[in-house]
Chains A and B, each alone.
Chain A
Amino acid sequence: MAPALINANPIVYEKKERPARIRQPGDNGFDEYAPELIDQLEIFEHIRDIKDPEHPYSLEDLKVITEDAVEVDDKRSYVRVTFTPTVEHCSMATIIGLCLRVKLMRSLPSRFKVDIRVAPGTHATEDAVNKQLNDKERVAAALENPNLVDMVDECLHPSYE
Chain B
Amino acid sequence: MKRLSSKRLEDRTVHSLIGFFSDRLSDWRALHGVLVGCLALMRRKSDTGAISSSDASVVARSFMENLQVQSYGQQDRKLCFEILECLLDSYFDAALTLKDEFIYVICEAIDAEKDPQCLLITFHLVELVALKYPESSEELTSYAEDLFNILGSYFPIHFTHPKGEDDVKREELSRALMLAFASTPLFEPFSIPLLLEKLSSSLPSAKIESLKYLSHCTVKYGAQRMLKHHEALWSSLKDSVFTSATSSLAVGPEHQDNKIVAEALILLQKLIQQDNASFLNLILKDVEIGMSLKTLSNYKSHDDISEPDKQRLNAVGQILYVSAAASAASCNAVFQSFFSGLVNGLGSMTLDEKPHFGYLYICVELLAACRTLVVGPSTTTYPESESWCGILHGICSSLTSSLVKSMKESTKDVDSHYSVKGLRILASFPGNFMPVSKSTFENILAEFISVISLNFNNTSLWRSVLNALAEIGSYIEEYHDSEKMPSFDVIVVERMVALLSSDDSTMPLSLKVEAVSEIGKTNLKYMLKIVQELNKAICTSLHEYWLDGNSKSAERAMLLLECYSVKVLPWFDNIEVTNDVPMHFALKIWDEIQVSTIFSNSLKEKKLLEITMNAMKHAVASCSEVSQSLILDKAFNILSSSTSFQLDEPVQPAEYSCRDEWIISLFDSVITALHPKTHLNNTNQILQILMRALQNGHVPSAHALGSLLNKMPVKDNKLGADSDAQFCTLEEAIDITINRYISDDNNEIGVSNLKSSNVNDGLEHVSVHGIVGLAWMGKGLLMRGHEKVKDVIKFLLNCLISNESIDSSAVCQDMMRAAADSFGIIMSDSEDCLNKRLHATIRPLYKQRLFNMVMPILRSSVVKSDSPITRSMLHRALAHVITNTPLSAIMGEANKLIPLLIDGLTILSEDVQNRDIVYNLLLVLSGILTDKNGQEAIVENAYIIIRCLNKLVFYQHMMLVRETAIQCLTAMSELPYATIYRFSTEVLQTLSRALDDPKRSVRQEAVKCRHAWTKISS
Contact at B998–A106, with CB atoms within 8 Å?
Answer: no
- A35 near B992 with CB under 8 A, answer no
Whether B996 and A111, one on each chain, are in contact in the complex, defined by CB atoms closer than 8 angstroms, is yes
Residue pairs across A and B with Cβ atoms less than 8 A apart, 30 shown, are A21-B1000, A32-B957, A32-B958, A33-B956, A33-B998, A34-B998, A35-B998, A35-B999, A36-B998, A36-B1000, A38-B1000, A38-B1003, A42-B1000, A42-B1003, A45-B1004, A46-B1007, A106-B1010, A106-B1011, A106-B1014, A107-B1007, A107-B1010, A108-B995, A109-B992, A109-B993, A110-B992, A110-B995, A111-B996, A160-B1007, A160-B1008, A160-B1011
Within the complex, what minimum Cβ distance (angstroms) separates B954 from chain A? 14
| Interface size, B (range) | 10 to 19
Cβ proximity bits A16-39 to B, threshold 8 Å, 1 near / 0 not: 000001000000000011111010
Q: Is the Cβ of A109 less than 8 Å from the Cβ of B995?
A: yes
Report the minimal beta-carbon distance from A160 to chain B, rounded to whole angstroms.
Answer: 5
A111 to B993 Cα, complex, angstroms? 10
Closest to B1002 in A: A36
B491 within 8 A of A: no
Q: Is B451 an interface residue (CB 8 A)?
A: no
Interface size class of A (residues with CB under 8 A): 10 to 19
Minimal Cβ-Cβ distance residue in A for B995: A109
Kindly list chain A residues whose C-beta atoms are within 8 Å of the C-beta of B998.
33-36
Nearest to B1015 among chain A residues (CB) is: A153
In the bound complex, CA of A107 to CA of B150 (Å): 62
Return chain B residues, CB-CB under 8 Å to A42.
1000, 1003
Choice from A34, A35, A106 contacting B1007 with Cβ under 8 Å: A106
- Residues of chain A within 8 A of B957, CB atoms compared: 32
Interface residues, chain B, with chain A CB atoms under 8 Å away: 956-959, 992-993, 995-996, 998-1000, 1003-1004, 1007-1008, 1010-1011, 1014
Q: Which residue of B lies closest to A34 (CB)?
A: B998
Q: Which residues of B contact A36 (CB under 8 A)?
A: 998-1000
B959 touches A32 (CB 8 A): yes
A18 CB, min distance to chain B CBs, angstroms: 13
If A33-B998, A35-B998, A107-B1010 are given as contacts, then 8 extra A-B residue pairs at C-beta distance below 8 Å, sorted by A number, are A32-B957, A36-B998, A42-B1000, A45-B1004, A106-B1011, A106-B1014, A110-B992, A160-B1011
List of 9 A-B pairs having minimum Cβ-Cβ separation, nearest first: A35-B998, A109-B996, A109-B995, A107-B1007, A36-B1000, A160-B1011, A36-B999, A110-B992, A42-B1000
Question: How many Å lie between the Cα of A35 and that of B959 in the bound state?
Answer: 11
Which residue from chain B places its CB closest to the CB of A21 in the assembled complex? Answer: B1000
A42 CA to B993 CA, complexed, in Å:
17
Chain A residue with Cβ nearest B1012: A160
Smallest beta-carbon distance A125→chain B, Å: 32
Chain A residue at smallest Cβ distance from B1000: A36
Where chain B touches its partner, the secondary structure class is helix
- Of residues 91 to 130 in A, which have CB atoms within 8 Å of B's CB atoms? 106-111
Residues on B with beta carbons closer than 8 Å to the beta carbon of A33? 956, 998
Q: Which residues of A contact B958 (CB under 8 A)?
A: 32
For window 62-101 of A, CB contacts with B under 8 Å fall at: none
* A105 CA to B957 CA, complexed, in Å: 28
- Note all chain A residues with C-beta closer than 8 A to B1010: 106-107
- Looking at the assembled complex, report how far the CB atom of B999 sits from the nearest CB atom of chain A, in whole angstroms: 6
Contact partners of B1008 in chain A: CB under 8 A: 160
For window 1-56 of A, CB contacts with B under 8 Å fall at 21, 32-36, 38, 42, 45-46
Q: How far is the CA of A109 from the CA of B957 in the complex (A)?
A: 21
Chain B residues near A32: list those with CB within 8 A.
957-959
| Complex Cα spacing A102 to B417, Å | 57
Q: Which residue of B lies closest to A35 (CB)?
A: B998
Q: A123 → chain B, closest Cβ, in Å? A: 29
Chain B residues, Cβ within 8 Å of A45: 1004
B651 CB, nearest partner CB in chain A, Å: 43
Contacts of B992 in A (CB 8 A): 109-110
* B1003: A residues at CB distance < 8 A: 38, 42
Q: How far is it, in angstroms, between the C-alpha of A61 and the C-alpha of B413 when the chains are bound?
A: 39
Interchain CA distance A45-B996 in the complex, whole Å:
16
A21 to chain B, nearest CB (A): 8
CA distance A32 to B1011 in the complex (A): 26
| Distance from B401 Cβ to chain A, minimum over Cβ atoms (Å) | 46
In the assembled complex, the Cα of A111 lies from the Cα of B957 at a distance in Å of 24
CA separation between A106 and B1000, bound complex, in Å?
16
- B1011: chain A residues at CB < 8 Å are 106, 160
Bound-state CA distance A46–B958 (Å) is 24
Closest to A160 in B: B1011
- Complex: A15 Cα to B1011 Cα, angstroms: 26
Chain A residue with the shortest CB-CB distance to B999: A36
Residues in B with CB closer than 8 Å to A110 are 992, 995
- Which A residues are in CB contact (< 8 Å) with B1004? 45
Q: Which residues of B contact A108 (CB under 8 A)?
A: 995
- The smallest C-beta distance from A151 to any residue of chain B, in angstroms, reads 15
Q: Closest A residue to B960 by CB, please name it.
A: A32
Q: How many angstroms between the C-alpha atoms of A107 and B1014 in the bound complex? A: 12
Closest to A45 in B: B1004
Q: How far is the CB of B160 from chain A (nearest CB, A)?
A: 23
Q: Bound state CA distance, A36 and B1004, in angstroms?
A: 12
Cα-based distance from A160 to B1014 in the complex (angstroms)? 12
CA distance A108 to B991 in the complex (A): 11
What are the residues of chain B within 8 A of A38 when measuring CB–CB? 1000, 1003
Report the minimal beta-carbon distance from B440 to chain A, rounded to whole angstroms: 48
By a CB distance below 8 angstroms, the chain B residues around A109 are 992-993, 995-996
Report chain B residues within 8 Å CB of A35. Answer: 998-999
Q: Given A38-B1003, A42-B1000, verify A107-B959 contact (CB < 8 Å).
A: no
Give Cα distance in the complex from A136 to B365, angstroms: 72
Distance in angstroms from B1013 CB to nearest chain A CB is 11
Q: How far is the CA of A59 from the CA of B1014 in the complex (A)?
A: 24
Shortest distance between the CB of A158 and any CB in chain B (Å): 12
A140 to chain B, nearest CB (A): 16
Q: How far is the CB of A145 from chain B (nearest CB, A)?
A: 14
- Residues on the A chain within 8 Å of B999, using CB: 35-36
* Complexed CA–CA distance, A48 and B998 (Å): 22
In the complex, what residues of A have CB within 8 A of residue B993's CB? 109
